[in-house]
Structure 1
Amino acid sequence: MLEAQIILQRLRKLAAKDNRPSALSAASARASALFTFVTRERERIAGCAFPRTSMVVIVEGSKELVTPGRQMRYAAGTVLVLPKGWRGDVVNDPDPKSGVYRAIFIDFQDELVNRARRSLPPQPNSARFDAALDPVLATTIHHAGEGIVAGTLPAVLVEHRLMEVLMVLGLRGALPEDTATLSDAVRALIRWQPNKSWTADQIAAELGTSNATLRRRLASESTSLRAISAEVRVELASALLSQDGLSLRDAALAAGYRSPRRFAERRRAELKGRQLADV
């Protein structure tokens, strides 16, 4: 039996039956939690919002992550690490042979994620969500999953096992950046729906604050809604051009620009600014 099949068979025991919460946001605000998703029908879960850094292990079948302008498919044997604040739709597809989709979901307390970041050497920023399920990573996930499911281990031991998972993810370059600042939360929100004409009132309401407080805190972080919006849309459109092969027009529209010309102008200005900064 191939090594990958052995790994998945071992993890399949943790995902024997469906044990999902009524809503992903219903996860405990204090302790990390493990859920399992099992379905025999293709399902689309719209408007997912992840309040904490979360990991999805695709054990059987495949999963799609859908955000405006992007649709990414991942096969069994993939570990997805979704950063705190990620929003979008997910599509779970059963395996064509077995007719079953299985996945393990674990969310991590902020304090654990931050501790793992501090323990690791600086890692290059990456826009990727996925990591390969190699034997080392699979062993740490299985160890942590068994500890959570048992429900009898002291909390400190469960945390230690989860830290092992986070450390391996970090060494694989799959640990998301810290999104503790308000500007990062705004970026995640705009990235979720870049083609929406976000107002300050709407963003403030989504983030549970007031318009005045939102603007004041962003100013303290040396940025603004206008600057963040432009930055996110340029990054998204550029990624759609280079990674997904979209045309300039389609990439611009998917990123929320009303015309490709506006995106082209903004991109040229940004490239020129970088060139001057390097001089």
Structure 2
Amino acid sequence: MSEARTILERLQKLAAKDNRPRALPEVAEQVSALFTFVTRERERIAGCAFPRASVVVIVEGSKELVTMGRQLRFGAGTVLVLPGGWRGDVVNDPDPASGVYRAIFIGFPDELVARAARSFPPQRAVRPIDLPLDTVLAAAIHHAGEGLTSGTLPALLIEHRVMEVLTVLGMRGVLPVKPKTTSDAVRSLIRWQPDKSWTAHVIAAELGTSNATLRRRLTAESTSLRDLLTEVRVDLAATLLSEEGISLREAALAAGYRSPRRFAERMRARQHVANV
């Protein structure tokens, strides 16, 4: 039996049945939590919002994320690292052979992630990051999962087991740190749906603040909503052009520009600023 198959079979025991929360994932902010998702039918969950840093382990089947204007598909044996505040649409597909989709979700308290981050150089995860489920990461997740589901271990011991997972992520340079500034929070929102008509009113509502407070905070950080919109959209379109080989028009539309010419102008202007 291959190593990959052995790893997945160990984790399947943690995901034997569906125990997802009614709301995803509204749990106490000060404790770690584990949920399992099991389905025999293709399911689409629109507008998912993950307020806390999380990992999703795809044990069986595949998952599709619709985010940042892109459709990303991940198969069994993948760990998705999601920063707090991540948003997007999710599609869970059962495995064609077994007819089952299984995944393990672990949510981390902000304080625990911040504590782990102090042991590593600055890291920033503002988009989903996928990692292969190797033996080291799988062992940490399995150990933490058993502790979270036991119902008998002391909270301090469970915390140590969860910290194992965060330590492995830190060693890989992908700790799911929460945006520290208003600018980063705004960038995260725009990346989720770059072609949306983002306004100060909409963004302020999403961040739970007022237009005036949003503008004041961005000014204090030496930026503006217009600058952030341009930055995120141009960077995303440039990534699409370099990684996927799509046309200029397709990249512009995906990034939220209706006019390829306007996008090209913004890209040139941004490159000029970067070279000054």
Normalising by the smaller structure, the TM-score range is over 0.9
Q: Distance in 2 between matches of 1:174 and 1:96?
A: 31
Aligned to 2:138: 138
Post-superposition offset of 1:171: 1.3
- SS of the residue corresponding to residue 64 of structure 1 reads strand
Which residue does the alignment assign to 1:117?
Answer: 117
Larger displacement relative to structure 2 (71-80 or 238-247): 238-247
Residues 21 and 127 of structure 1, relative CA distance in 2, 3 Å threshold: closer
Normalised to the residue count of structure 1, the TM-score between the two structures is 0.94
Partner of 1:38: 38
Of the structure 1 ranges 100-109 and 253-262, higher mean CA displacement relative to structure 2 is found in 253-262
CA shift, 1:219, in A, is: 1.4
Aligned equivalents of 1:52, 1:178: Cα separation in 2: 8
8 A Cα contact 1:52 1:84, kept in partner: yes
Q: List per-residue Cα deviations over 1:243-270 (Å, max 9, x = no partner).
A: 2322110111111112111111111122
**Unpaired runs of at least 5, structure 2:** none
Q: 1:72 Cα shift? A: 0.8
Deviation at 1:27, TM superposition (A): 2.2
Q: Are the aligned partners of 1:40 and 1:94 in contact in 2 as well (CA < 8 Å)?
A: yes
The alignment status of 1:84 with 2:84, answered yes or no, reads: yes
Query: Are the equivalent residues in 2 in contact too, given 1:56–1:105 (CA < 8 A)?
Result: yes
> 2:219 corresponds to which residue?
219
Map of 1:11 onto structure 2 = 11
Q: Structure 1 residues 66, 108: closer, same or farther in 2, change over 3 A?
A: same
Normalised by the size of structure 2, how large is the TM-score?
0.95
Deviations 1:198-236 (A, max 9, x none): 221111111111111111111112211111111111111
CA contact (8 A) 1:69 1:240 kept: no
Unmatched 5+ residue regions in structure 1? Answer: none
Counterpart amino acid of 2:236? L
What displacement does 1:127 show? 5.6
SS of the equivalent of 2:118 reads helix
How many angstroms apart in 2 are the aligned matches of 1:123 and 1:67?
21
Contact 1:57 1:105 (8 Å CA) reproduced? yes
The match for 1:245 is: 245
Deviates more, 1:172-181 or 1:216-225: 172-181
CA 1:18 to 1:237, structure 2 compared with 1: closer, same or farther past 3 Å? same
**Is contact 2:83–2:176 with CA below 8 Å preserved after alignment?**
yes
Count residues with an aligned counterpart.
276
- 1:147-226 residue pairs with structure 2 within 5 A? 147-226=147-226
Identical columns (%): 72
- Structure 1 partner of 2:273: 273
